[in-house]
Amino acid sequence: MELIFSKVLLELAIISLIAMVAVVHWRSKPTLPLPPGPPGEFLLGHARVIPKDNTAAAYARWSKEYNSDIIHVRSLGRSIVVLNSAEAAKDVLERKGANFCDRPKFTLLEVMGWGMTLTFLPFGKRWQMHRKLLQTSFSNTNVRKWHNLQMTEARKTVRNILRRPDAWETSLRRLAVAIVLQVSYGTEVPHDDDPYIQIANDAMYATGNGGAPANSIVDLVPLARHLPDWLIRDWPLRFARQWRWAIQKLHDVPFDVAQKEHVTHQLLNQYKSNEALGNKQEWSLEDIKGAAGAVFIAGADTTWATCVIFILNMVLHPEIQEKARHQLDLVIGPDRLPEFSDRGSLPYIEHIVQEVYRWSPLAPLGIPHKSLRDDVYQGMFIPQGKVRIFACCRSYMPWTSLITSRTVVYANAHAIAHDERIYHSPHDFNPDRYEPLANGGPGEPFPVGNFGFGRRACVGRFLADNSVWIMVSTMLATLQFRKKRDDAGNLIEPRVSFTNGGTCHPQHFECSIKPRNLEALALVGAS
């Protein structure tokens, strides 16, 4: 009885706080109109209107319905502004990037262990320091020093796939993890069953299955992170607590064996040197771990999932495989495998990679931004929207506030990639859409926003893109993807299905993978 009473009190307290936020919002109503959106409910706003599944598609649908590239909804006191076109996203997040470089507070991700990672850090000195640490190391020029590593790992992955075709997903996972761990820590991952693969799998599962960033009850009510599970019925919070060990292990285990000439070791050397000389430290050990963790989250998951989407579409479209191989044969010939120096001479391979990015963005809504101050776009008001309730309680509570209401801004990568004004038949997988007008093609633009916008664009995007390109080109040169047959000889149609959450991964599907020909098999064996 006492437990039920406590839960009722908690729910009443939360409802009361939401009501207070609503009152504050009503009293501070802007003179300019907010972007349009569907009708909401009293107090709850759009909390029950916004679907839990395929949220990005719903926002895209409302954008069409209200004939506006930018829409606004409100959920439990939080304003959500969604940018549904490339033009709107660039105008707001890039041209006004200095104002929209902040992040909302990701309380749930902090509980999980990602609090020191550049991707989720709020704007401030620590974010600037982490960004400075990583931007130089992962510029488009500096990542070229990893080309040989990426080529070696791509060829090793093809050999592993041919050895165990049914375990092709595991082999691709090893590729992605091997590259980011060697770049970050100098740690080698030689086998598909290496312990580091499981560490990475656990961390990616934890991150991808705990709900969308900035969208849980603890993100709205930070106080809730301190409450026991029996008192607060919030599945994402319980999940974050249960899986915190996975994120901690990812940061700690590779860090302990960081090798020379790699990002983490260089930062650690400078830290130890400052410590020995008694100099003021620029960053802590936790900062170094967080910087290395940012490389992992930027590269491992992206590379693996993108390669899986590529294979899915090669199984569904064998004619695209044949066209790609024809170009490879003309440009490279049968005596060697693709190298990075070939990239500019293989436009159709580039078109395939770009179409993989566009067809199914891995983060349909991306990671939300927050403005540092109020802003206006095309006559519509975008509030900074930060409200603190019960600030007077600080004298006897350790928390800065009981509830915060903030405006978050999403760039809807799904809507941008499937904009019918830009892409003809956007749900079709069609690399020919990028063929230039001068060559008689449609001349549609490469997709934008898959790696974020503005100052919050992913620092590891060049490394990840290089990994994807060399793996795709190597697989096309050496492997043949087909539909699998069951025991009766019938073709098995691959299931086109994706996970739903902050990241969108393809579900497992059946396929047949064989060597393209004997010459390719010999090349792989000799590489």
Q: At what angle do helices 125-137 and 285-316 cross, to 10 degrees?
A: 60
Q: Are 483 and 514 in contact (CB under 8 A)?
A: no
Burial class (CB in 10 A: 0-12, 13-18, 19+), 210: buried
d(CA 332, CA 339): 9
- For residue 107, the model assigns a pLDDT of 86
**Which residues make up each annotated binding site for heme?**
458
pLDDT score, position 393: 34
Full set of structural domains in the chain with CATH: 2-526 (1.10.630.10)
Q: Is 96 left (phi over 0), alpha (psi -120 to 50) or beta?
A: alpha
Task: Give the CA-trace dihedral at 337, 342, 348, 353, to 10 degrees.
Answer: 80
Q: What is the pLDDT of residue 25?
A: 52
Binding residues, by number, are: 458
Look up residue 388 and give its two tokens: 């603190």
Q: How far apart are CA 130 and CA 121, in angstroms?
A: 9
Buried b (16+ CB within 10 A) or exposed e, 82-96: bbbbbebbbbbbeeb
pLDDT at 350: 99
- What pLDDT shows up at residue 85? 98
Q: Which helix (H) or strand (E) holds 83?
A: strand 78-83
Q: Is the distance from CB of 118 to CB of 131 less than 8 angstroms?
A: yes
Q: Which of 147, 151, 119 is nearest to 134 (CA)?
A: 119
Which pLDDT belongs to residue 21? Answer: 53
The token pair at 27 is: 């009293």
The pTM is what?
0.86
Q: Are 376 and 187 in contact (CB under 8 A)?
A: no
Let me know the angle formed at the C-alpha of 490 by 486 and 491, rounded to the nearest 5 degrees.
Answer: 90
Q: What is the pLDDT along the chain (527 residues), one digit of tens a residue?
A: 555 545 555 566 566 656 555 555 554 555 789 999 999 988 788 888 988 788 999 999 999 999 999 999 998 778 999 999 999 999 999 999 999 999 988 888 888 888 888 888 888 888 888 888 788 788 899 999 999 999 999 999 999 999 999 999 999 999 999 998 888 877 888 888 888 888 888 887 887 777 666 667 787 778 878 888 777 777 788 888 999 999 888 888 777 766 555 666 566 666 666 666 666 666 677 777 777 777 776 677 889 999 999 999 999 999 999 999 999 999 999 899 999 999 999 999 999 999 999 999 999 998 899 999 999 999 999 988 554 433 333 333 333 344 445 789 999 999 999 999 999 999 999 999 999 999 999 999 999 999 999 999 988 899 999 999 999 999 999 999 999 999 898 999 998 888 776 678 888 999 999 999 888 888 887 66
Would you state the pLDDT for residue 384? 84
Q: What is the DSSP track for 398-462?
A: SSS-SEEE-EEEEE-HHHHHT-TTTSSSTTS--GGGGS-GGGTS--PPPP--TT--GGGS-TTHH
What stretches of 216-262 adopt beta strand conformation (E)? none
Backbone torsions φ then ψ of 79, nearest 5 degrees: -85, 135
Question: Cβ distance 243 to 210 under 8 Å?
Answer: yes
CB under 8 Å, gap of 24 or more: what pairs does 513-518 form?
513/161, 513/162, 513/165, 513/168, 513/311, 513/479, 513/480, 513/481, 514/165, 514/479, 514/480, 514/482, 515/162, 515/478, 515/479, 515/480, 516/325, 516/477, 516/478, 516/479, 516/480
By the 8 A CB rule, do 405 and 17 touch? no
